Structure formats: C-alpha cells, structure tokens
Amino acid sequence: MKKLYFILLILGLAIVSCDQDNIGEIYKPEAPYVAFASSVVPQNFLSADNDYSVMVQIVRSDLSGSTTANISLEMNDDIEGVFDLESATVTFTDGQAKAYAKIVPVIPTDQINPAKMYKFKLTLTGDNVSELYNTTTYTALFNIEYQDAGTGDFNSDFWPGAWPVDLLKADLGNDLIVYKAIDLYEEGYDIVIVVSGGNVTVSGQAAWYYDDDYGDVFVSGTGTVSGKVLTLKLTHYIPDVYAWDEATETLTLP
C-alpha cells in the first residue's frame, strides 16, 4: 500500500490512506487516472510456478466505481511470436486500488529460449491515463541454477565428426530440463538445449564464428529423446544471409 500511495503522490493525485480518518488531498485532477506502479521492473523470473508469465501492476487514483485500463505491448525480435498480453484491457472493480495485466507465452513453454533475457515495454492508452506513469519496462528471465552433468558425446553430420562435450544441467520442473553444452562447436560458444518430455528444442543462438565479414553462425532446430540419446535436426545459418542444409546431430548424455 505504501508503494501505491507514494506513486500516486508523485503523480499529484488524490492520496487515500488505509486509515479513513487520515484522508489527505494534495491535488484533485479533473478526472481519475490509471498508471503503472513503476516505470522499470527488472528481474522477473519465468518458471513453471507462474506458468512462465509476467504480472504487470496497474494502479488508479480514484477507488470508487469500476473502470478499465487499456494496455499495449510493444513487440521486439525476442518476444514477437513468443509472448503477448493475455488481454489488452484490465478492469478495476469498485474499491479496487490495483489490478494486473498478464504477459503469457503464446508457444509451448519448451520452445522458449531459457538463455535469453526478455524485455517487455508496455504503454497505457486512453483518456484516463496518467501523464507521467503511462509506460513501463519489465524484464524477465529464467532462474537457472546449473549443476555439473559430466561429459557427453556429440556426433555431427554437419562438420562432420565426433567429440566429447562438457555438460551442465538444470531441472526447471514440470518435466522441463535444460542442458548447456560447453564450447560445443567452438570455444566461447555454449549451446543451450531444452528437453521437455520426449521433445528437444534448440532455439536460435550463436554457435561458431564464420569470419570477420559475416560474423557468427547460428544454430536452431528440434529433436527427440530416446534413453540418453538426443537426436537433433539442426540448421546452421547466418541470419538474413545463408543457411546450410539441415543436419542430423546427436548428443549422448553421460
């Protein structure tokens, strides 16, 4: 509550305390306002416990009656086709001081790249919006605590060749396991591999260096699990320039 009132004070709005005997009015606007609770909210963790979603708090100045806040989410390369607003409107009921918009995944959760930090820039729209706190930026990421998983064996039809690879492992719950293959193709390029049940996903990520003109080569694809063997169908590509033919590559877990 204190955070809410502090924000409303900054906005120059009517301040309402939990103690109705101590109602103070700093400034009475012509119309009630809605606003984001904060302009920046970092370090939101995505997990099975919250369905890999992000809750965005919205507050209002006048608690009487019901009102609606309209909200939009600006897309970027990392979130487009991966996350979106569950609803573009948020409704306050009579007496309700705060409400929440929800950012949710629009793809299966095992296809979300757990190695990325996702940035969400949101805007309140309409004629009941604060002139100050009408935009906010949330960041979200997976809370991954890797453990040493030993050494696996990698076999590639792309290079071709076979070699040992050091692995880290994180069990995120809900049948979701993340492996990090250290220096898989080249030193300094770790590859994150997501296993969900019998399915494997390698989201687009830098895998090795081509040359000074074209820079990094990326890899992405899907696969299946059979025992300790992950069979992957991977494509190596330079974004917007060139893609090699899909290749079968296998990782045998320790």
- What architecture (CATH level 2) is domain 147-252? Beta Barrel (2.40)
Pick from 122, 119, 176: nearest CA to 144:
176
Judged against a pLDDT cut of 60, whether residue 19 lies above it is answered with no
For the chain, domain boundaries: 2-142, 147-252
The pLDDT-based confidence of 30 (bands split at 50, 70, 90) is low
Protein fold of 2-142:
Immunoglobulin-like (2.60.40)
What pLDDT score does 3 carry?
44
Judged against a pLDDT cut of 70, whether residue 1 lies above it is answered with no
Pick from 246, 196, 188, 182: nearest CA to 220:
246
100-141 pLDDT, tens digit each: 999 999 998 878 888 788 999 999 999 999 988 899 999 998
Distance CA 16, CA 9 (A): 10
Tokens of 89: 């409107």
| H/E element, 219 | strand 215-226
Rg (CA), the chain: 24
